[in-house]
Amino acid sequence: MSGTSEGPTPAADLDRSAVTESDIYSTDSGPGAYQPPAYRSVFAAAPLAMAVVDREGLIVDANDALGALLGGGGARLVGRVASDLLDLASDVRTWHAYREVLRGRQAKLRCTRRLKQPDGRSLWAQVTVSPLDADTPGVLLSVADVSAHRDLQARLRHLQMHDPVTRLPNRTLFFERVSAALEAEAYEQSGTGRIGLCYLDLDGFKAVNDTLGHRVGDRLLAAVADRLTECAEEAGRTRPSVPLVARLGGDEFALLVEDSTGTEQLADLAESVLKTLQAPFDLAGHRLNVSASIGVVERHAAGTTATGLMQAADTTLYWAKVDGKDRWTLFDPERNAHLMTRQALASTLRPAIERGEFRLDYQPLVGMSDGRLRGVEALVRWDHPRFGLLSPNRFVALAEEDGSIVPLGRWILATACRQARQWQVDNPDEPPLFVSVNVAVRQVWDSDLVADVAKVLAETGLAPHLLQLELTESAVMGSAGRPLQALQALSDMGVGIAIDDFGTGYSNLAYLSRLPVSVLKLDGSFVRGFQYEGGGAPNPADEVVVEAMIDLAHRLGLTVTAECVETSAQATRLRSIGCDTGQGWLYSRPVSPDRISELLNTETYAVGNP
Mean pLDDT of 326-331: 94
| pLDDT at position 16 | 34
Segment among 295-299, 345-349, 476-480 with least mean pLDDT: 476-480
Residue 531 has pLDDT above 90, yes or no: no
37, 29 in Cβ contact below 8 A? no
pTM: 0.48
Mean pLDDT of 384-400: 87
Mean pLDDT of 144-162: 82
Mean pLDDT of 78-106: 87
| pLDDT at position 195 | 94
What DSSP string runs through 26-47? B-SSSTT-B--GGGHHHHHH-S
| pLDDT at position 477 | 58
| pLDDT at position 22 | 34
| pLDDT at position 30 | 44
Residue 24 has pLDDT above 60, yes or no: no
| pLDDT at position 146 | 87
516, 491 in Cβ contact below 8 A? yes
Q: What is the mean pLDDT of the chain?
A: 84
- E strand residue ranges, 514-590: 519-522, 559-562, 581-582
Band the pLDDT of 509: cuts 50, 70, 90. low
In terms of pLDDT, which residue wins out, 84 or 223?
223
Q: Percentage of the chain with pLDDT > 70?
A: 86
Query: CA–CA separation, 516 vs 449, rounded Å?
Result: 15
Residue 184 has pLDDT above 90, yes or no: no
| pLDDT at position 18 | 33
| Alpha-carbon separation of residue 366 from 42, 158, 560, 561 (angstroms) | 93, 65, 12, 9
Query: CA–CA separation, 246 vs 162, rounded Å?
Result: 9
Query: CA–CA separation, 78 vs 274, rounded Å?
Result: 64
| Residue 515 host element (H or E) | none
